[in-house]
């Protein structure tokens, strides 16, 4: 028996369609057009692709996007000035600074300067703290996308063993928080974990976010596990693959996300959702989050 493939592309498209309808209503009933400022510094080709995808998703849903593409030579001070202006701009409900920033820029200082109420990526320490203490406002997009995929695949983490590979601030740690909030028993593994395979084998739910092509082999997985593969790795032949060996995993698992077409499209859809929710909060129209 082969596992199900969780179609992130279709689930993300469905969410964008829901958001498009909601944004239409916000505009017609309240004259509100949610707006996202997208700040890109430098010429990193992968970042340029991500930023284009984000701007395209905004356009599809009817969210205004304000692109600020700055040269590599931009200083921390100049970037902070721009963020200060965007913070005061009533048309901007979400501010996204595409990471990674060029080496000369103080990333931590930049993330702190984004007002928590406009922090569409959910990386400000206040939003991180609210997630950790159980009252999230802006949630980080990739982990939130992972949780949305699990829900749409009919997987309830309650009481299950969840194993998260990776402990980064943008994926591993926050997705572990969200799984914990959803009542899973959570294990986080990383590069210093002893016997990775044995840990992963415990997982009813496995979320892989390490950035190592096909690290997780089929015989590392429990039969019937649900696998969400966050990894995006480019192989020598130019093709993309995940952190999980998809072909080996498929006959073992109950369900798995492909790469590409799994978590990637969800991340962008969640960013648009964050912007819409932010616009509602800032306008006093607080809806279901």
Pairing mode of beta strands 4-5, 255-256: parallel
CB 285 within 8 A of CB 27: no
Indicate the residue among 20 and 167 with the shorter CB distance to ligand NDP: 167
Nearer to ligand NDP, 29 or 192 (CB): 192
List contacts with ligand NDP (CB under 6 A).
142, 165-168, 170-172, 190-192, 196, 209-212, 215, 230-233, 263-264, 267
Q: For this structure, is 109 an active site residue?
A: no
Whether 94 and 278 have beta carbons less than 8 Å apart is answered as yes
**CB of residue 205 vs ligand NDP: minimum separation in angstroms?**
17
- Output the smallest distance, CB 185 to ligand NDP, in A: 20
Find the catalytic residue in 7, 119, 121, 229.
Answer: 121
Nearest approach, Cβ of 88 to ligand NDP (angstroms)? 29
Active site (annotated) includes residue 199: no
Residue 134 is given by DSSP the state: T
Q: Looking at residue 163, what DSSP letter applies?
A: E
- Residue number, 195 or 247, with CB nearest to ligand NDP: 195
Tell me the closest approach of the beta carbon of residue 32 to ligand NDP, in angstroms: 28
Which pairs with CB-CB distance under 8 Å and at least 24 residues apart come from 277-281? 277/138, 278/34, 278/93, 278/94, 278/117, 278/118, 278/120, 278/138, 279/26, 279/32, 279/33, 279/34, 279/35, 279/93, 279/94, 280/26, 280/32, 281/117, 281/137
C-beta neighbour count of 287 within 10 angstroms: 10
Say whether 54 is catalytic: yes
Nearer to ligand NDP, 157 or 174 (CB): 174
Active site residues: 54, 98, 121
């Amino acid at each position: 028996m082969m596992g199900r493939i969780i179609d992130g592309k279709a689930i993300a498209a469905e969410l964008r369609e829901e958001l498009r309808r909601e944004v239409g209503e916000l505009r017609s009933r309240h004259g509100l057009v949610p707006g996202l400022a997208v700040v890109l510094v430098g010429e990193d080709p992968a970042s340029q692709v991500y930023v284009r995808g984000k701007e395209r998703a905004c356009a599809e849903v009817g969210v205004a996007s304000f692109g600020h593409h700055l040269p590599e030579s931009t200083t921390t001070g100049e970037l902070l000035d721009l963020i200060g202006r965007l913070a005061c701009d009533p048309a901007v409900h979400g501010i996204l600074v595409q990471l990674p920033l060029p080496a000369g820029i103080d990333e931590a200082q930049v993330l702190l300067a984004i007002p928590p109420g406009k922090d569409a990526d959910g990386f400000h320490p206040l939003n991180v703290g609210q997630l950790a203490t159980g009252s999230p406002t802006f949630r980080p997009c990739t982990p939130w996308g992972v949780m949305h995929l699990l829900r749409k695949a009919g997987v309830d983490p309650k009481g299950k063993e969840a194993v998260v590979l990776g402990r980064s601030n943008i994926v591993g740690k926050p997705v572990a928080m969200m799984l914990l909030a959803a009542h899973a028993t959570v294990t986080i593994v990383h590069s210093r974990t002893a016997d990775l395979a044995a840990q992963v084998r415990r997982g009813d739910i496995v979320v892989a976010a390490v950035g190592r092509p096909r690290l997780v082999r089929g015989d590392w997985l429990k039969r019937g596990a649900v696998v969400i593969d966050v990894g995006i790795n480019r192989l020598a032949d130019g093709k993309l693959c995940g952190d999980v060996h998809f072909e080996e995993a498929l006959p073992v698992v109950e369900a798995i996300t492909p790469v590409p077409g799994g978590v990637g499209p969800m991340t962008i859809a969640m960013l648009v959702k964050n912007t819409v929710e932010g616009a509602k909060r800032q306008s006093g129209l607080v809806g279901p989050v």
